[in-house]
Amino acid sequence: MVSMLVLVAVIVILGLMVLRIHSPFNDEIRGTPVHYTALTIGQKMLVSRWYILAVLAINSAGIIPGMEAFRTNTDAVREMLVMVVVLGSLFVPLRYHFFKEGFALGGNRIKHWERYSDYRFANGKIMFVGKEGVRSEVIYVNDVQQKALRSVLPSLVGRDEGSSNTAG
């Protein structure tokens, strides 16, 4: 019974991970495309890291002393299947899409530029600073992707007076 609950929890978390990168219920009309960039496997791991860690923690709970109730004779097969699914999800193509109206990860809703006051380049990422009451967003990009976006972002993201765009 406990093993079945563990399997259900793993399936739910994997489902949430898939919905993070592809939203089948998204009926929002896309904007005018400006740029897109494909994510590497490492960037996909960063985007989905909390889901991957949760799945691996639940999947490995049976090896912790005192948690033997999570283990059954078929756990090796289930654990291997979960690992294959997690690793397989990293090979699914995924892109950041940049539109005149905003940006989106995969097939998700557009996050509109009006929500952000500034952006900052850092090692391996770009941070979009949210206006008051709006959460900041981080996207993971390598140096080549950053170089391509340096010419695109200034015309898209709203800027506050005295904001800076230094790498840091």
pLDDT, residue 161, reads 41
Domain ranges of the chain: 2-27+40-89
pLDDT, residue 160, reads 45
- Residue-wise DSSP of 84-105: HHHHHHTTS--EEEEESSEEEE
Residues contacting residue 122 through CB under 8 Å, at least 6 positions apart: 167, 168
Pairwise CA distance, residues 24 & 107, whole Å: 8
pLDDT, residue 77, reads 74
Pairwise CA distance, residues 139 & 133, whole Å: 19
Which pTM was predicted?
0.74
SS (H, E, C) 61-83: HHHCCCCHHHCCCCHHHHHHHHH
Average pLDDT of each block of 10 consecutive residues along the chain (168 residues)? Answer: 71 78 65 89 89 80 64 68 83 89 85 90 91 90 92 77 45
pLDDT, residue 110, reads 85
pLDDT, residue 69, reads 60
Q: In what order do the strands lie in the sheet with 116-122?
A: 116-122, 125-130, 137-140
